[in-house]
Amino acid sequence: MSNTFYYSLLLLNIIKSVEEIIVKPVIAKELLESLQTKIEEEKQVIVHCCFPASPFLGNLIRIWHSTYLFDNHSDHRSKLIHAENISISPYWTPVPFMQDFWFTLVFSGLPKDCKSFDLKEVIPEEGGFFVEAIKRNSSDVYRVKISESY
């Protein structure tokens, strides 16, 4: 028997022994419940937004970091985490002529007891995005039509 063959067999036996030793760990019930609470606290809210078609050429839009979801029954506000298919201020995104323009915003989670909320862009000028009284659903994924606040 060659040394290479002997070492290969030895290595296979070691690997097989290690595989047999690994056992699925038992996690305490209290720890699992604690982790579930953390998962529920970290849920994110996804809002697919439609900026309605405009008859004007050269429209530009953007979103500010200071865009929030405001719980209608508490002081809670969920922060904007990510924006997809729209530029974040100070940059701009061109809007196609006479086409609805869709973009997606991802926010930190809302409180468990939240029933409705507002999407509001808090900016130092007129014309921020605003959607009032969005009814909460179990999936926390929404489709809204954007209007401007004045």
pLDDT, one tens digit per residue, over 83-117 is: 999 999 999 999 988 999 999 999 999 999 999 99
The pTM assigned to this predicted structure is 0.71
Does 37 have pLDDT greater than 70? no
Instruction: Return the residue matching tokens 């909460």.
Output: 136
Most confident range (mean pLDDT) of 38-47, 62-71, 89-98 is 62-71
Reported as a pLDDT band with limits 50, 70 and 90, residue 56 is confident
Q: What pLDDT, on a 0 to 100 scale, did the predictor assign at position 150?
A: 41
Do residues 148 and 130 lie in contact, with contact meaning Cβ atoms separated by under 8 Å?
yes
Query: Which among 65, 42, 54 has a CA at the least distance from the CA of 124?
Result: 65
- Sheet strand arrangement including 116-121: 141-145, 45-51, 101-107, 77-84, 67-71, 116-121, 129-135, 147-148
Over range 129-136, report the average pLDDT.
96
Higher pLDDT, 35 or 59: 59
Over range 139-149, report the average pLDDT.
86
Task: State how far the Cα of 119 lies from the Cα of 107, in Å rounded to an integer.
Answer: 10
